[in-house]
């Protein structure tokens, strides 16, 4: 865990003479880096265990396919 993230809260200090839009952009980037956005999307809807297993298997298959394409000789 990053040291500037305290108890799950992401903070961004607005610097002197910094536009609020720039601070918001930094905040969004920090949230994305900390995995908050991905976690929110994952928890937005309940997945049954069978759906979770199916999704995991599909993701693994896609990963295997891309790895096979990378190692393929021409």
Q: Which residue has the higher pLDDT, 73 or 17?
A: 17
Name which of 40, 37, 25, 31 is nearest 10 in CA terms.
31
pTM for this one? 0.51
Contact 36, 10 (CB under 8 A): yes
Residue 1: pLDDT band by 50, 70, 90 thresholds? very low
| Count of C-beta atoms within a 10 Å radius of residue 3 | 5
pLDDT at 5 over 50: no
> Could you read off the pLDDT of 18-29 as tens digits, one per residue?
999 999 999 999
Q: Please state, in angstroms and rounded to a whole number, the distance separating the CA atoms of residues 2 and 36.
A: 13
Domain ranges of the chain: 5-71
SS3 state at 1: coil
35-73: pLDDT as tens digits? 888 888 888 888 899 999 999 999 999 999 999 998 887
């Amino acid at each position: 865990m990053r040291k500037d993230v305290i108890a799950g809260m992401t903070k961004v200090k607005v610097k002197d003479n910094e536009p609020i839009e720039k601070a918001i952009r930094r905040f969004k980037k920090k949230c994305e880096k900390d995995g908050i956005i991905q976690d929110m999307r994952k928890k937005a809807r309940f997945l049954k265990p069978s759906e979770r297993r199916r999704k995991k298997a599909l993701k693994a298959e896609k990963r295997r396919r891309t790895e096979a394409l990378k190692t393929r000789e021409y």
